[in-house]
A and B are shown apart, each in its own frame.
Chain A
Amino acid sequence: MPGRLRRGWTCAHLRITLRPMPHDHHDDHPHALLPPEPALRVKALETILARKGLIDPAALDEIIDTYQNRIGPKNGAMVVARAWTDPEFRARLLENATAVVADLGFFGRQGEHVVAVENTPEVHNMVVCTLCSCYPWPLLGIPPAWYKSDAYRSRAVREPRKVLAEFGVTLPPETAVRVWDSTAEVRYLVIPMRPDGTEGLDVEQLAALVTRDSMVGTGLPKAPA
């Protein structure tokens, strides 16, 4: 009979589809939580390369620790604060930033050059990487997602003032915006203008005002408390 056949098929179908899968669980994990697909592929690459002696797992840990915990915008902020307070340092920085920041222990691990560009009432500098996401890692750490997004990478060059406005930065009409396109070889550090009312602050207090975005050119330094 058609009814019995249909019922029989349904039962069999249910039994198959509702059978618990190895990773089908609700209340607890009987096994280790499965990482996302790309994580498994990265682990596969690591395993293969380690077996061939091409990587040192300890070196990987060191790189992650460095970029996660030890390198960040504080490095760049210290450079900016010194440039604000030490004219001779500022002159050397604008002349050859690679050498100056290397003296401070901030090396470009990929052998790139650092160029410092200074904001003035006449020119506001802004940095992008239209190719991918080149960024002064030793000074600013790992770039934020927006720096790596298609939207920023395409619009920063095409309509920098609109992008700046979306970041909350509105410049006087007479201030020109200059956009610098980073490459694998050259990374840029924006030296923002020193905020007013900071005359009595020392280098550390000034560095605390220097935000990451102000060193990319999409922000301005914080105001003193």
Chain B
Amino acid sequence: MTRPTLHLARNTPGESAAGGRGQSPRDTTAPKATEIPEPAFSEPWHAQVFALTVHLNESGLFDWPDWTARFGETLARHGLRRELDGGDDYFNAWLETLETLLAEMEKAAPDEVNSIRDAWERAYLSTPHGAPVRLGR
């Protein structure tokens, strides 16, 4: 079995740790002005699908433990095929979980999702660059 490797790009620029025994200071190079906070979401659609799910939970459509159990199952299933890196693949699993849940709850049937998705694609391809994209153009 191959051991998964951890890609650790975790320190923001300018961030250093006080290390060693007793956590005594060791590195004092931490100019605050150079710190660049990591964006919360790396893609706009990550934020959108996150917000959609949180909003539906807060409006009472499903409870959070149920969501996490379902999401955990999707992640586990996807993780059998390949190691997930916590980026796009994580939110793809999130989206699949939400689509399945909404289909089961009869709030958004797969056929309807596909048809509206195609309508959005047509709208993008027929909207002049720079103009707002709307359905029904």
Do the two chains bind?
yes
Minimum CB–CB distance from B68 to chain A (whole Å) comes to: 4
Q: Identify which of A1-9, A12-20, A91-99, A144-152 touches chain B.
A: A144-152
With A55-B56, A131-B72 as known contacts, state yes or no: A32 contacts B23, CB within 8 Å: no
Q: In the docked arrangement, what's the CA distance between A193 and B60, Å? A: 40
CB interface residues, A 183-225, toward B, < 8 Å: 183-185, 192-197, 208-209, 211, 213-214, 218-225
CB-based contact B86/A109 at 8 Å:
no
Q: In the docked arrangement, what's the CA distance between A52 and B58, Å? A: 17
Q: Which residue of the partner chain, among B9, B22, B83, B126, contacts A193 with CB atoms under 8 Å?
A: B22
CB-based contact B113/A55 at 8 Å:
no
Q: Which residue of the partner chain, among B8, B31, B107, contacts A49 with CB atoms under 8 Å?
A: B107
Q: Which residue of the partner chain, among B25, B47, B90, B91, contacts A68 with CB atoms under 8 Å?
A: B47
Q: Which residue of the partner chain, among B10, B15, B17, contacts A146 with CB atoms under 8 Å?
A: B10
Q: From A193, which residue of chain B is reached at the shortest CB distance?
A: B23
Q: A104 at interface (Cβ–Cβ under 8 A)? A: no
Query: In the complex, what residues of A have CB within 8 A of residue B128's CB?
Result: 30-32
Q: A11 at interface (Cβ–Cβ under 8 A)? A: no
With A154-B4, A221-B18, A225-B30 as known contacts, state yes or no: A149 contacts B51, CB within 8 Å: no
Using C-beta atoms within 8 Å of the partner chain, give the interface range for chain B: 35 or more
Query: In the complex, what residues of B have CB within 8 A of residue A134's CB?
Result: 68
Q: A102 at interface (Cβ–Cβ under 8 A)? A: no
CB-based contact B22/A40 at 8 Å:
no
Q: In the docked arrangement, what's the CA distance between A161 and B77, Å? A: 27
Q: B104 at interface (Cβ–Cβ under 8 A)? A: no
Please report A residues at the B interface, Cβ cutoff 8 Å.
22-23, 28-36, 38-49, 52, 54-56, 59-61, 63-64, 67-68, 72, 109-112, 121, 131-134, 141-142, 144-152, 154-155, 163, 166-170, 172, 183-185, 192-197, 208-209, 211, 213-214, 218-225
30 contacts across the A-B interface (CB closer than 8 A): A22-B125, A31-B129, A40-B117, A41-B113, A42-B49, A42-B95, A45-B102, A45-B108, A46-B48, A48-B107, A48-B108, A59-B55, A60-B52, A64-B48, A67-B51, A68-B47, A72-B40, A111-B64, A132-B71, A144-B38, A145-B85, A148-B86, A150-B75, A150-B79, A151-B83, A155-B3, A184-B67, A209-B18, A221-B17, A225-B30
